[in-house]
């Protein structure tokens, strides 16, 4: 999250603190190829 939003009423924290995360895709924003590769790894396709 953006540092300016930290501590705001609508910010809980990291996604992994709220729901289970199977795979993280690095980047801000991540490259489209990285997203496709992550989806392939998760789905096994």
21-41 pLDDT tens trace: 988 999 989 999 999 999 999
- Given this model, what pLDDT does residue 18 score? 87
H/E stretch holding 36 reads helix 32-43
Question: Distance between CA atoms of 45 and 39, rounded to whole angstroms?
Answer: 8
Q: Are 8 and 18 in contact (CB under 8 A)?
A: no
Find tokens 């999250």 and name the residue: 1
% of the chain residues with pLDDT over 70: 96
pTM, full prediction: 0.59
With 0-12 / 13-18 / 19 or more C-beta atoms within 10 angstroms meaning exposed / middle / buried, residue 37 is middle
């Amino acid at each position: 999250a953006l540092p300016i939003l930290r501590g705001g009423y609508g910010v809980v924290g990291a996604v992994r603190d709220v729901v289970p995360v199977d795979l993280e895709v690095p980047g801000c924003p991540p490259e489209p190829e990285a997203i496709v590769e992550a989806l392939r790894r998760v789905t096994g396709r």
